[in-house]
Amino acid sequence: MNISILGAPGCVGVNLIRCLLEKKDLIITGSYRSENEIPENIKDKRLLWKKVDLFSQESTENFMKDTDILIYLIHSLGAKDFEKLDIKLANATGNAAKKMGVKKIIYLGGIVPENENASHHLTSRMKTGQALASYGIPVAEVRASILLETCSASFQIIYYLAKRLPIMITPGWLNSYCAPIALKDAVSFISSLIEKEIYGHEIFEIGSDIMRYKDLLSLCGKSIRGFRNIIITMPLFAIKLSALWIELITGVKNTVAIALAEGLRTNTIPSRNRFKEITGRDPSPVESVLNELAEKMKKF
């Protein structure tokens, strides 16, 4: 089976490739825009790297030649007008996939809050899935909250805030709920969907323990220094001010921080967690994942 991955050099893509290479019957093609993106620490005779320009229909179609399943990990977060760009790229991909006979698309998006005003970031994730599904190809849309791994921007924000501010004053919206999940569990879930028959546009929400964002910060602090952070929440805290604070403390780019901070104002928890249904097991507990990642971060 031929699996093609758009967005392969990123945090999720690299971890997913390692997971998929454990399946002996898969041939994997990863996309790249420039050669310096290609990871040097992943080599396998069943792994091919192929240059693609999603703004070129010919290049996009050439990338998908002989593709059975397309995994879509493209995200324009941080770019100017990222919402419009996300939809444009999704439409170009869906059109090319239809022409090239792709049988299924697996897309990693975000959990969209029910009955709440979703952030621009989460709205864009939802509309991307809808655009991909509008070309008649079965789409398995995996929706996750915060992905926990050292390369994840969301985790880096949590880690460096927790490490550098044992006592912190935060926006009141850190009382919102989330359902973090280890990235290794998320890519394992995506891998499990390769063999699953998909009809139409099917949503798969996943997550581990449900907790408030401030509790996630406190648990991360405990994993780093052995005791939880003291967090005081205040009702008024502007998004742009929060983003500047995040950039100063964590080093995460301001435009990315704004988009992610907006998402903290609403609950991002699965309405129906399908992780065990598909994988046959429970996801790793958040506290054990944070302990593992804290040890890994010591090496950086």
Q: What DSSP assignment string belongs to 8-45?
A: TTSHHHHHHHHHHTTSTT-EEEEEESSGGGS-TT---T
Tokens of 63: 């990338």
Domain ranges of the chain: 2-144+181-207+269-281
Q: What average pLDDT does range 41-58 have in this prediction?
A: 95
Q: What is the pTM of this model?
A: 0.94
Give the CATH class of 2-144+181-207+269-281: alpha beta
Tokens of 50: 């192929």
165 Cβ partners below 8 Å, 6+ apart?
A: 229, 249
Give me the residues paired with residue 69 across strands.
3, 104
pLDDT tens per residue across span 101-123: 999 999 999 999 876 678 888 89
Amino acid 79: pLDDT: 74
Query: Which of 276-286 are b and which e, b meaning 16 or more Cβ less than 10 Å from the residue's Cβ?
Result: eebbeeebbeb
Question: Which of 9, 25, 33, 149 has the alpha carbon at shortest distance from 89?
Answer: 33
Cα–Cα distance for residue pair 181/210, rounded to 1 Å = 10
Cα–Cα distance for residue pair 56/190, rounded to 1 Å = 27
Q: How many other C-beta atoms lie within 10 A of the C-beta of residue 32? A: 17
pLDDT tens per residue across span 240-296: 777 777 788 888 887 777 777 777 778 999 999 999 999 999 999 999 999 999 999
Amino acid 116: pLDDT: 65
The alpha carbon of 67 is separated from its chain's Cα centroid by a whole number of angstroms, namely 23
Give me the residues paired with residue 144 across strands.
110
